Amino acid sequence: MPHIIIEHSQNVVSESHCSSFIDAVFQAVLDTKLFTSDNLKVRLKPVKDFRLGLEGFEFVHVQCRIHTGRDELQKKFLTERILEALSQEITSSTVMTCEVVEMDRASYSKSIINK
């Protein structure tokens, strides 16, 4: 926790740019001081087929799945920092959105396998 899931139109992030895209978001989340690096997970999910109301635009949507306990200002701060970091990485006309989704602590399980 948190899980940062970045869904994006595949033209926004080239294969050679994936690492810097992920690193920028990872660092932005760390810079908020809301989480530690050992619990942070960032992943990209390219989307081939999509349609937006704004013709000629690409999209990025970030979902921040976190445990409960952060107030509204902290959640807003998190989403704003992520969008700010992403804006430095984007080179095309793009609609960017970011949301926080609170995970249910009672049903969340975690296991670490280190072989």
* HSE-up (13 A, CA, CB side) for residue 94: 20
- pTM for this model (two decimals): 0.90
Report whether 40 contacts 76 (CB < 8 A): no
Q: What is the pLDDT of residues 14-71, one digit of tens each?
A: 777 889 999 999 999 999 999 999 989 999 999 999 999 999 999 999 999 999 989 9
Q: What is the pLDDT of residues 68-82, one digit of tens each?
A: 989 999 999 999 999
Can the peptide bond before residue 46 be classed as cis, meaning omega within 30 degrees of 0? Answer: no
Domains defined for the chain, CATH in brackets:
3-103 (3.30.429.10)
Question: What DSSP assignment string belongs to 4-70?
Answer: EEEEEETTTS-GGGHHHHHHHHHHHHHHTTSS-GGG-EEEEEEESS---SSTT-EEEEEEEEEES--
Cα 67 from Cα 50, distance rounded (Å):
30
Cα 67 from Cα 6, distance rounded (Å):
18
CA dihedral sign of residues 87, 90, 91, 92: negative
